Structure 1
Amino acid sequence: MAKTVLGSVSLGYQLLWNQLRQLGGVQLFVGADDTAPVDAPHLLSALDESWSGQAPTLLLSVQSPRLLADMLDHGTADSPWIEVHESLLRDPAMAQRAHRAHQRGMKLIWRGEPGQRPSAALASCFLRNMVALTAEEALAGLRVSLRKHNGTDASQSSKVTSPVLAGQIYEAVASRVLTEHCLDEQKAWGVAGWPMEDVLHGYRQQRIQPGHRAIVRLTEAIDADDSVEHIELILSEEPILAYRFMRYANSAGLGLRTGIDSIRHGLMVLGLSQLRSWLLEQLPHATSDLNLQPVRTALVLRARLMEQLLDAGDGNDLRREVYLCGLLSQMDLMLGEPLNAALARFPVSERVTSAILDHSGPYVPYLEMATALESANTQATRVLCDLHRMNLEEVNRALLRTLSNARPHPAKGLLLV
């Protein structure tokens, strides 16, 4: 098969979260071999064709200076956002390219090292900045946040001001409190990545409950007589609820003769009426903590990506199993217990447990690839393609399909019981 432009680059991604804790954008890392030139206009066209109009904002972080220069020369006002790093702007030729691209209407994002900001001469060329705070800046932001929460009069306290500015993107924010300061108090455009460890650490003394919104959406779907396929889709997008449903479907109290090894199997055996009753039992304990939503979304995206990586001819049952493998692969984060204990609580196929616990079996290539794509290390994608004999172009297309279709699904209204 002839090599296409999407087969000439390797990709990775990071998610950008907005104030609503919804997916506001995707930072797509683009790696290229500078010994084999990539056609920049063709690549921009291929990305545009793969990105739907309802998809999150696409930000390209091009790791090849040569390819970045070509994109700046050939991009248009309709092109994705393109990041230009401060280190490259020291080259007068690259700075001039950025200036000309801005004049043509391209949306450029400045990015730099912690503590850096764009020079006054080039600042106007950028739509917004992607900023990494220094330790001192992060501490200043935390102090301002604490002062606001304590209701301290600024005129009577220290003259500490927040380094976080409205409308910018902040990356590598490891603290939940600092993230809330960026998004909620300072009105940042978004944060790149999510402080997953710190958010989940706050639940170390209690169980994480299913999301209120998901339970409401499911109940609404059942009441509207939606298809089983749609109900299965909604349930599979709430990791904790899906896990609990699998445990419930296999509980001794139901007295089923055979084990339930998939969400679809459980829905068909239990029926939607019983599902609705069970959901209403979960509702009083459900959580509305928005800080958990990015954690859930990240788990679901890994599962969706694994599903997309399968060959088109693979059956629906296999796709469901691979999806479940991805969803369960990080369930220890949500449950606060080891994966082997979590997977022992209901029947799971040996293919799934082998991939997650032993890193063996037929699902390992998909799990390893989906995991590798969650980073800026685009070279790892090429290595895994060689190792598992996967087609690089098909991997990239699967990633773009998955990310392009990732969008929030709010409930229609309040649930009246």
Structure 2
Amino acid sequence: MEKSATKHFHEKVSGTASLRVGMVGYAFMGAAHSHAWRTAPRFFDLPLKPELTAICGRNREAATEAAARMGWDSVETDWRDLIARDDIDLIDICTPGNTHREIALAALAAGKHVLCEKPLANTVDEANEMAEAAVRAAEQGVLAMCGFSYRRTPALSLARRFVEEGRLGSIRHVRAQYLQDWLSDENAPLTWRLDREKAGSGALGDIGAHSIDLAQWITGQSIEGVSALTHTFVGERPVGGDFVGLGGHGDAANAEKGPVTVDDAAIFSARFSGGALGVFEATRFALGRKNAMRIEVNGSLGSISFDFEESNILNYYDGRDDAEAIGFRRIIATEPEHPYVGRWWPTGHGLGYEHNFTHQVVDLVNNIAEGSQPRPSFSDAAQVQQVLDAVEHSAAHDSRWQSA
């Protein structure tokens, strides 16, 4: 860790105050992370107070506007300059996947803690290299975490607690879907998420990675092998132009078109380390589904099911109930006893998507102050990358079973 940053960090830990954050990227994830860094110390008692010190983007005008809108103190246009600053303790990476490796490795080498959005990288080799660097950095007190934010949904944290407490018994089945529809119109324009060089994969890595991480985290089991299919429904899309929604055309219908080089949908079956069987689906073509991130886990004693479109609800089935009263019960996860909820609103006043990022910041700040490894670690995220890679290999070889 840089001497000046180390001195500041330990002074602040031994006193009270701050963790100085530099964020790379300012679009969708940048906005969500900015909100979290601002909000966390206002609702949670944190051992370090996050300071939104600097935001980084290649376009100075756009980055300056984002900084003013989202509460950042200063602007950089080169992430290398951001990392080189003595007044930054942590680098938050909210950029496309093809940039994660270089930024994260440089930040860790400079003694900066790192929060990196998922998926960790675009390839297994990159992810493993990042995980190894994070292990070495942790030996020097520099910590890294990957941002699988759905782990911090109170209802899903409760589901994990139920599994850990043995309420579901032996886990037998996992069913996980992540359904969106924002690419259902063939006139939706080409974005970086449809470019393999930038995104790594399509629906599989963008949203399927969440399902993989959650399924393993909730059950406490890892995926050992898969059999998969992937498909691209629309092979080329307008470059630029205005997208006016399903059934509309706007400028996009007449625009120059470019190739889609990632999957539009992925499905796969899986075997877990504890013997459970899994079925997974990820698509951005499920018309009518906006953010239906669903998971169901069946055990020998009970089951849980969840759909993020009803994000405050956990459905729980206890197979030991009396026959006359047996059935799924609808738990509204807004009680103070539920994970994270006690710091927010009165019972029944639900939480939303943005709260998961706030909870992520809370856990990360506490881990940094304690000197304990945040989860998911880069090693956890690299294991998810192994599964993503196995899915692609299986799909490329006629759904042949592929070890993960």
TM-score by length of 1: 0.27
Q: Which has the higher helix share?
A: 1
Q: Which has the higher strand share?
A: 2
TM-score by length of 2: 0.28
